Amino acid sequence: MTGADAHGSPAIRPRAIVIGLAALLLSARWIFYGEIVRYSFVTLAAPFCHAVYILLVLTVLNMLVGGRFPRLRLTSFELLTIYAMVSIGSAIMSCDMQSILIGQMPYPAYFIDSPGKWKDLVDGAIPSSLIVTDRDAVTGFYRGNATFWAPEVLRAWATPILIWTVVLWMLALTMQAMCALLLTAWAENERLTFPVVALPIALATEPRALFANRLLWVGFAIAGGITLLNGLNYLYPSVPALPIKRQTIVPIDSGPLSGPTTFVFSLYFFAIALGFLMPLDLGLSLWIFFLLHRAQLAFVAVHGYPPESRLPYADSQAFGAYMAVFAATAWRLRSHVTHLWSIAWRPEGHGDPERPAHRRNIAVAALGSAAIVGFLLWAGMSPVVAVAFPAIFFAVAIMITRIRAEFGFPVHDMHSMGPGPVLVRVFGAETFSRSTLGMFSMLHWMHRAYRGHVMPHQLEAYKLAGTDLRRRSAMSRAMTLAVLAAVPICFAVFLSGYYDVGAATGHVNMWGVGYGREAFGYNLPTWLKNPARADIGDGIATGAGFAVALLLAFVRTFLPGVPLHPLAYAVSNSWGMAQLWLPIMIGSLCKGAVLKGRGLKGYRGALQFFFGLMLGEFAVGCSWTLVGMALQAPTYEFWP
């Protein structure tokens, strides 16, 4: 029984929901002024540091207030629900989802300002109702010193905001239903470990035992002390610092091996803690495959292949690996799916307490998927692509969710592996119609990267609810409310902020205009004006990645101890792995040493130290960010 099962009533009182919604509003401002203004990305890694920080503050306040006024105390389940609402809402608002969409919507009207350019690029490619077409209304968005709440500005934004709000709701709620259907198979049947939520569960359910542990405070003091010291150094350079953030090391600075031998060294404490929490074979598998990927790059370099050859097609290999793992996962789930269907729709399912929930989730998943296909058809995608696009998106989403549930890898970015870029690489831009390519660009927000993807947070929220059906039902309602609230909150906070500070001014970092430039200044013009043919190398690499990952999955089925996991192969070339390979290695080596020397009991004791590392870095690091935002001054950012 987990802590989430053992503590707290299954009910969620209105006060917890109000606190959760208030925390969503705070998160929206934190994400905008942090990620968009300050270049401080709280949603690039899981668990979201600001969500843990909010949970920590609420837990401490709950202990203090609950001691004097027991009736005001929040239950552990309510604390976990607030944490889940913040995580899910923040994922929707993150720099890998709605934040990108908001940056795209006004871009054509302001930067494609001549009728000729507009006709060449936008007309017939993107429905005008999906973007803001009034240049006067978006001028304040880029120049600042204006208000979003002026009537003429609201009218210009109203239609696209309404359409995209519905689309975002459909997408997020469809994935929530999928998570509910996957939960039993992964959390109970396979008993996946869910490392990312280990600290939140401990913090919310056993705070007194956690805070009474000396090892926790040793880890907290080390990580928090170094983060405090580095923050002081940022403000006062005479104060010494310990460089734990990413440092690029180039041992060979010229010749073909300069790239493959360039490594990023970092000592992020939260990643060391996650490396310790991961299953040992999976943690080892991650950095083994990362080093093999670098060896592959070195092999290509020493054999004289130029960078423009794109060898070894690492992104296509990774995509093939993801699809292989998805196929293997779908095959393993076949009996689970049959069981769910029997409970939901067949006579033998009568009387099963989960029957109504399964029926509802199957219906939401099916209708949501169909609605998304219908939207893509309305927007101009060809019928085959309108079906293939969400199918690929959901397959990738399920694999990311599996990564988080099985071994808790915190940064699953997967750049260039969304359905649009993959289809263009494999089949060539010339294969697709103008309107299909236009929607690939318009949907850049869905598939640019997946670091802050909402679906893993949704499955983790169900895990936080435990096995009690009443608790799962209450958590599901809170998750739905978080989704419904997060989208309009994000539009309101982000657009108010942009019209205040100006997306194209020096007050905002490069992504104020960067997201729109990627979609409409690079992707769409390239695809329309210089449509490339299919690259056979991409197809071969995709097939090779699929075959290798499938072979690894087959081997692990018969030899479970083999420390070579296909999902580790899939993430080996990612930005996240390049940043975190060393802390993951340190964490996994520490875990191996503790298990060998002290056994499982020693591991459980040492876990408190690693919880302290993560909590200390998050607590002090987030405090530096909040101080900087309050004073409107630059301060130390511990990540990335």
Is the previous residue joined to 312 through a cis bond, with omega within 30 degrees of 0? yes
Find the mean pLDDT for residues 420-437. 91
537 pLDDT more than 50: yes
Calpha distance 498→146 (Å, rounded): 9
Nearest Cα to Cα of residue 215 among 594, 586, 498, 538 = 594
Q: With pLDDT > 70 as the criterion, what percentage of the chain qualifies?
A: 98
The secondary structure of residue 73, as a DSSP letter, is: P
104 and 445 Cβ atoms separated by less than 8 Å = yes
Calpha distance 619→603 (Å, rounded): 24
Confidence at 229, pLDDT banded by 50, 70, 90: very high
Nearest Cα to Cα of residue 173 among 404, 434, 395, 458 = 458
Please count the other Cβ atoms lying within 10 Å of the Cβ belonging to residue 64. Answer: 10
Chain segment 58-96, per-residue pLDDT in tens: 999 999 988 788 888 999 999 999 999 999 999 999 999
DSSP three-state, residue 185: helix
The verdict on pTM exceeding 0.75 is yes
441 and 523 Cβ atoms separated by less than 8 Å = yes
Calpha distance 359→467 (Å, rounded): 18
40 and 407 Cβ atoms separated by less than 8 Å = no
Please count the other Cβ atoms lying within 10 Å of the Cβ belonging to residue 510. Answer: 10
Residue position matching structure tokens 């006004």: 106
Calpha distance 320→316 (Å, rounded): 6
Mean pLDDT of the chain: 91
480 and 176 Cβ atoms separated by less than 8 Å = yes
N- to C-terminal Cα distance for the chain? 35
Calpha distance 558→6 (Å, rounded): 36
Calpha distance 391→382 (Å, rounded): 14
Alpha helices in 206-279 (DSSP H): 207-211, 214-235, 269-277
pLDDT of residue 8: 56
Chain segment 121-149, per-residue pLDDT in tens: 888 899 999 999 999 999 999 999 999 99
Nearest Cα to Cα of residue 84 among 149, 179, 161, 170 = 179
Chain segment 463-491, per-residue pLDDT in tens: 999 989 999 999 999 999 999 999 999 99
Residue position matching structure tokens 């409107």: 632
